[in-house]
Structure 1
Amino acid sequence: MDEIFQVITREHQAAGRRLSTATLDRIRAALRAALNAALRAGLVEENPASLVALPPTRRARAVVWAAARVQHCRKTGERPAMAVWTALHRAQG
C-alpha cells in the first residue's frame, strides 16, 4: 500500500506539480473510509490503508510582518509561508 503513495508522489513531481503532505493525508483518509465501508459490507477482510504510515508533517509557523521582514520581502520577493499582521499594523492600514 505504501508503494501507491510513492507512485502518486513521483508522478506529481514528474509533472512538475506540487503535492503537499496534507493532500496525501486526504487521499489516505478517503481510501481508508472506502475500504472501511467495504470491510463492513464483507467485501474485503482487512483494510490495508489503515497500516499506511505517511511521513510526519511540519506545520508552517506564523511570523509577524515586522518592518525588517516587509523590507526583505519587497527587496527579494521572498515571503514566509505564513505571515500575520498585528492589530497595530491593521489599524495603520
Structure 2
Amino acid sequence: MSKIAFFTTYIQYEISKVIGIDTSELDVEMSLNYLGLDSLIAVKLRNKFRKDLELDIPAVKFLEDTNVATLAILVNDLSENADSKIKNDDEWLEGEL
C-alpha cells in the first residue's frame, strides 16, 4: 500500500467517524463542505491528525473546498517534508557533536 493510499484510507475513516456516516458512504472526491464540516469538526480533526500522524495540518485546510483525496496528498507532502527535516536535523546534530 502506498503512503497516499494509507493516508486516504485513514482520512476517510476519521472524517466518516466524526460526521457519523459509514466509510463506504464517503466518496474521496466529495467536497468536505458538502458533508457539513464546520470549524469545530475541523479543529477536532486537526488535533487527531496531530496526535496520530505527528503532523500539523491547519484547521482551515479542512474548511477550504477540499476532499479526502486532496487532503491525502497534502498529508503525504507534509510527512515527506517532516521526514527530510528530521533527517537534516539529525545530520546537523551529528556534525555539531
Give yes or no for TM over 0.5.
no
Question: Which structure features the higher share of strand residues?
Answer: 1
Bigger relative contact order, structure 1 or 2 (CA pairs below 8 A, ≥6 apart): 2
TM-score (norm 2): 0.32
Q: Could you tell me the TM-score, scaled by structure 1's length?
A: 0.33
